[in-house]
Amino acid sequence: MTIKKIILVVVLSFTFILVNAQISSAKITFERKTNLYKKLKGNVENWLKEEDKIKIDYFELFVTDTISIFKPQESELKENLSWATSKNTVLQNYNSHTRYLIKTIWGEELHLTDSLFKRQWQITESSRKIAGYACRKAVWQANDSTRIYAWFSYDITPSTGPESFNGLPGTILGLATEDGGVVYFAKKVEVINPVPATFILPKKKKIYTIPELKAQMEKQYGKEKWFKSMINEQFGIW
C-alpha cells in the first residue's frame, strides 16, 4: 500500500469515528438558578432571606434531529417560593419551523403557538466544559439592556436548547443572562432515543398565537408601567 493510500485510509477512519461520535438524540437534565434579588428587585432583602435568594429549578430537554421538548422535571417535593419563577414547556419542531408553548401567567395555564424564535448569534473563541462536553460560547444581544450567553456543543448536533433557544451549530448546554440573574446548566446528558410519546402534549381548547395573546394583554394592561418589561421577559427573551 502506497503512502498516499495509507493517509487516505487514516483520514477516512478518523472521519468515520468523528461522525459516529456525534450525538443526534438525547435526554439532557438542566439545573436553573435564579437570583431572586436580581429578578424581583425593589426592597426584596426586607422579606427574603439571603439564604433563600437563589431559587433552583430542574428541567429536562429531549432532543432529536427534527424535534425537541423542554419541560419541568416532575417532583413530588413541596416547592418553596413556587410563584417566584416560571416553568415553561416548549416543543420546537424543526421540520415545520414551529414551536408550541405552555406558560403559566398570573396563575393561568396558557397554550401558545408560534414560529421558531430566530436570534442573531455571535460565536466567540471562548470555551468550557459542561456535563463532560466541550462547549463554545455564543452571545445574543436581546435588547439594549439584556445580553444572553450560550454555551453549545458541536458533539450534540441538534440546533436546540433550553426554553425557546436554538440557532447554533449544536445543542446549548449552558445559558445565562449577562448579570448572572438566571443561569441554566446541563447536569447530565443521556444518549437515548426518546419515544414518540415524549413529544405529545396535552392540548387546550383555546390555543393562542403569541401575537394574538400580546395584543389581548396590551389592550387590558398596556398603560401599566410594568407591562412592557413583563411582555419582554415572557416573549422577547425566553
pLDDT in tens, 192-221: 999 999 999 988 889 999 999 999 999 999
More confident residue, 135 or 50: 135
Alpha-helical regions (H) of 159-198? none
- What confidence category does residue 14 fall into, taking pLDDT thresholds of 50, 70 and 90? very low
How many domains, in total, are found in the chain?
A: 1
List 184's β-bridge partners, or say none. 32, 175
pLDDT greater than 70 at residue 9:
no
Radius of gyration over every alpha carbon of the chain, rounded to an integer in angstroms: 20
Task: Tell me the residue range of the domain where 112 lies.
Answer: 23-237
* Residue linked to cell 434579588: 37
Residue 215 maps to a domain? yes
Mean pLDDT of 56-67: 97
How many Å apart are CA 224 and CA 122, to the nearest integer?
A: 34
Residue 207, domain member (yes or no)? yes
In a domain, 3, yes or no: no
Q: What is the dihedral of CA 169, 173, 175, 180, to 10 degrees?
A: -140
Question: C-alpha grid cell for residue 150?
Answer: 450560550
Residue 230 lies in a domain: yes
Neighbour-count burial for 199-212, b at 16+ CB within 10 Å, e otherwise = beeeeeeeebebee
pLDDT band at 136 (very low <50, low <70, confident <90, very high): very high
85 domain-assigned? yes
- Return the higher-pLDDT residue of 224 and 81: 224
| CATH number reported for the structural domain that contains residue 164 in this entry | 2.50.20
Residue 4 lies in a domain: no
- Residue 1 is predicted with a pLDDT of 58
The pLDDT-based confidence of 102 (bands split at 50, 70, 90) is very high
Distances (CA, A) of 79 to 70, 150, 164, 202: 20, 28, 24, 23
Q: Is 17 among the domain residues? A: no
**Rounded mean pLDDT, 20-49:** 89
Residue 115 in domain: yes
Q: What is the model's pLDDT at position 2?
A: 65
